[in-house]
Chains A and B, each alone.
Chain A
Amino acid sequence: MTTTTGQAQHTIRRVLDEKRDMPGALLPILHDIQDALGHVPPEAVADIAEALNLSRAEVHGVMSYYHHFRSEAPKGAVVQVCRAEACQACGSEALWEHASKQAKGQNVTLESVYCLGLCATAPSMSINDKPYARVSTARFDHLLAQLKEAA
């Protein structure tokens, strides 16, 4: 735990105290830590394992199994472009290619997502969990520019 900052350590401790006695506490704990810190620092694994009486391998195994959990802080805003079938039917692959080019060198983390449940208004995406539907390449550029402005 030596490399995590005091603030992060405090957060991890608080979450563990709050949730360790819950049945099936591991996912709620990982979620809370990631929600607070933006990621789950690898240094937290040992503390979580100890609190839940699990091995570090078990905690790491769970963390790495789920796509949602990240062990490194995301760069800037998290932009998720849906690439599942309904969005594919409305040109999401072209949008993805465009987004990949536009996001290069920008302060954003671009990710694929497989369904945001906005399948009747495809293609869709989200920026930090805020949903956007019927996203054209022009609308993507506009949203990216807004992000830049806000930064």
Chain B
Amino acid sequence: MNTTAIKIYVPRDSAALALGADEVAAVIALQARQRGIGIELVRNSSRGMFWLEPLVEVATPLGRVAYGPVQPEDVESLFEARFQTGGAHPLHLGLTEKIAYLQKQERLTFARMGITDPLSLDDYQAHEGYAGLRQALALKPTEVVQQVLDSGLRGRGGAAFPAGIKWKTVAAAQAEQKYVVCNADEGDSGTFSDRMTMEGDPFMLIEGMTIAAMATGATRGYIYVRSEYPHAIAALNEAIKKATHAGFLGDSVLGSGRAFHLEVRKGAGSYVCGEETAMLESIEGKRGVVRAKPPIPALSGLFGKPTVINNVITFASVPIILARGAAFYANYGMGRSKGTLPIQIAGNVKHGGLVEKAFGVTLRELMYDYGGGTASGRPIKAVQVGGPLGAYVPEAHWDLPMDYEGWTAVGATVGHGGIVIHDDTAELSKLARYAMEFCVIESCGKCTPCRIGSTRGVEVIDRITRAKPQDGTQPQQVKLLRELCDTMVNGSLCAMGGMTPFPVLSALNHYPQDFGITVPDRKAA
């Protein structure tokens, strides 16, 4: 590659690929060759502004200039407009960093996203990569755990349990073998931050898990990735190979004499395997059936050994905490919700993508200021936050600052930070029915409220929506649905059956007209 070559960036994130990034990259390479223009084509990660993908960037002396969304047929005119030097073109978006959507964010975990080549260790280290691990190796394990505790980092997978407490428990446990397991079974619709991390900055996840291993004395780690994410699996495998080769993984991590071996395990299309104990069963080679707790996995987890289990974003948040200190991270956020959350704006939205913000941001800001309203141009009717098990949040709560405790108090879930927007054509009774139906498909079958309750739930919702006013049966069926939901919430072993009622009841409470309910029913508190 000649040194004066112009750097052109075309993302390799699945969402960019799904919109034709590979084809665009191929045409750019071909035309550059034909025109005798020396370019260096970098397949970077995505900036997370998916309405602009494929987003092509060009390095200029002033900074990176963006063009998008670029289709293969646009490439010729881009070259005619001398885009390789930042020339004017209808797709010209100016300096990438100055795009308001990006500029207003607080990207800590996603700081490198879209900037680096995901599989370049040099790129990673040039952008603060592995500074956290180096710092961790200079500290005592207990000091590392203390940093994580002090940062206030809580599990980003949905349960929001303080990460430091888990780590402390595993560190204190006595065992010949301990494990670090990353739950990368990101099955919630409307979420893709784990996928972006694995595809777009895999070394960050590897570094976070390695720090966890050093802090707790674990020597083996697994990343459990869903089979629906083939690109993430490929990127992780490649990154693990490179990290091992460079001494960041293996028998002696960075010459410390401490071992950490990491391996990817592929899921097989089971949503409930995102529940931590079902995931452990799956890694052990069994059906993904939920285990009763206690014992907690921190003491008796994978193969019965003490195991740190965290979600992708939780581990990925650790390197910067170690590199910059707990106080730096804890300075973001509000109340007991410290730091930032990579929020995913999805569904029927004009400007869908990844927005990393400190806790305290409101849904209205996310849906309108960032999201720009619906893609269809119609009014927003409903928004589901926190995946298929999250409630539909009514407009009355759209101005509530995002915070785990504050949201729980009004029956909303932050979950994994996925926001799915629906316009006014959505029928909430159908979405409620779907929530139950999804539970039928995905229930592991171990506990009765989930296994049978979900099937009965579909039936009862059908009876409610099909009831004619003159029948007079509707109030009784509504009562039945509420009782069923109560049984599921209180009697299920895990969140699958225990939270499926959240979207159902929130739909029923806030959109009764969609169920054909005209007489106000006895609302649950």
Cross-chain contact of A119 among B266, B288, B418 (Cβ < 8 A):
B418
B195 at the interface (CB under 8 A from A): yes
Complex Cα spacing A26 to B346, Å: 35
Cross-chain contact of A85 among B231, B282, B349, B431 (Cβ < 8 A):
B431
- Do A85 and B347 touch (CB < 8 A)? yes
Given contacts A84-B388, A89-B422, are A119 and B189 in contact (CB under 8 A)?
yes
- Do A121 and B271 touch (CB < 8 A)? no
Complex Cα spacing A52 to B366, Å: 50
Q: Does more than half of chain B's interface fall in helix, strand or loop, or is it mixed?
A: mixed
Contacts of B270 in A (CB 8 A): 65-68
**Measured between C-beta atoms, what is the minimum distance from B240 to chain A in Å?**
15
Cross-chain contact of A120 among B15, B303, B438 (Cβ < 8 A):
B15
Complex Cα spacing A86 to B418, Å: 10
B323 at the interface (CB under 8 A from A): no
- Do A117 and B192 touch (CB < 8 A)? yes
Q: How many A-B residue pairs have CB under 8 A?
A: 152
Complex Cα spacing A61 to B265, Å: 19
Restricting to A48-64, which residues have a CB under 8 Å from any CB of B? Answer: 52, 61-62
Restricting to A108-127, which residues have a CB under 8 Å from any CB of B? Answer: 113-122, 124
Chain B interface size band reads: 35 or more
Given contacts A88-B434, A114-B271, A121-B18, are A27 and B346 in contact (CB under 8 A)?
no
- Do A114 and B187 touch (CB < 8 A)? yes
**Measured between C-beta atoms, what is the minimum distance from A130 to chain B in Å?**
8
- Do B426 and A24 touch (CB < 8 A)? no
Complex Cα spacing A30 to B287, Å: 13
Complex Cα spacing A85 to B286, Å: 29
Contacts of A114 in B (CB 8 A): 187, 189, 271, 438, 441-442
Contact with A along B75-95 (1 / 0, CB 8 A): 000000000000000000000
**Measured between C-beta atoms, what is the minimum distance from A73 to chain B in Å?**
17
Contacts of A124 in B (CB 8 A): 18
Given contacts A62-B286, A120-B349, A120-B352, are A85 and B420 in contact (CB under 8 A)?
yes
Contacts of A131 in B (CB 8 A): 14-15, 17-18, 231
Chain A interface size band reads: 35 or more
- Do B285 and A24 touch (CB < 8 A)? yes
- Do A68 and B285 touch (CB < 8 A)? no
Restricting to B413-466, which residues have a CB under 8 Å from any CB of A? Answer: 418, 420-423, 426, 431, 434, 438, 441-442
B183 at the interface (CB under 8 A from A): no
Q: Closest B-chain residue to A34, C-beta based?
A: B268
A25 at the interface (CB under 8 A from B): yes
B384 at the interface (CB under 8 A from A): yes
Q: Closest B-chain residue to A58, C-beta based?
A: B286
Q: Closest B-chain residue to A87, C-beta based?
A: B189
Given contacts A115-B187, A118-B18, A133-B18, are A27 and B426 in contact (CB under 8 A)?
no
Q: Closest B-chain residue to A131, C-beta based?
A: B18
- Do A121 and B227 touch (CB < 8 A)? no
Complex Cα spacing A86 to B388, Å: 10
Q: Closest A-chain residue to B19, C-beta based?
A: A133
Complex Cα spacing A129 to B248, Å: 31
Specify which of A25, A27, A86 lies most central, judged by the most chain B CB atoms within 10 Å of its CB.
A86
Specify which of B18, B303, B353, B418 lies most central, judged by the most chain A CB atoms within 10 Å of its CB.
B18
Cross-chain contact of A61 among B190, B287, B348 (Cβ < 8 A):
B287
A6 at the interface (CB under 8 A from B): no
A132 at the interface (CB under 8 A from B): yes
Complex Cα spacing A122 to B347, Å: 6
A13 at the interface (CB under 8 A from B): no
- Do B190 and A62 touch (CB < 8 A)? no
A90 at the interface (CB under 8 A from B): yes
- Do B285 and A86 touch (CB < 8 A)? no
Complex Cα spacing A134 to B376, Å: 13
- Do A119 and B344 touch (CB < 8 A)? yes
Contacts of B346 in A (CB 8 A): 86, 119-120, 122
Contacts of B344 in A (CB 8 A): 119-120
Restricting to B161-203, which residues have a CB under 8 Å from any CB of A? Answer: 186-192, 194-195
B238 at the interface (CB under 8 A from A): no
Contact with A along B279-303 (1 / 0, CB 8 A): 0001111111000000000000001
Cross-chain contact of A129 among B186, B230, B352, B434 (Cβ < 8 A):
B230
**Measured between C-beta atoms, what is the minimum distance from A83 to chain B in Å?**
9
A31 at the interface (CB under 8 A from B): yes
Contacts of B53 in A (CB 8 A): 121
Contacts of A69 in B (CB 8 A): 268
- Do A66 and B14 touch (CB < 8 A)? no
Q: Closest B-chain residue to A84, C-beta based?
A: B189
Complex Cα spacing A65 to B285, Å: 12
Restricting to B263-280, which residues have a CB under 8 Å from any CB of A? Answer: 265-271
Contact with B along A66-109 (1 / 0, CB 8 A): 11110000000000001011111110000000000000000000
Contacts of A28 in B (CB 8 A): 265-266
A-B contact pairs, 6 of them (CB 8 A): A24-B303, A66-B268, A85-B388, A86-B189, A86-B420, A117-B194
Known A27-B285, A121-B18; 7 more pairs at CB < 8 Å: A27-B265, A84-B189, A115-B189, A117-B192, A119-B190, A124-B18, A130-B17
Chain A to chain B: the 3 pairs with minimum beta-carbon distance, closest first: A120-B352, A84-B189, A26-B285
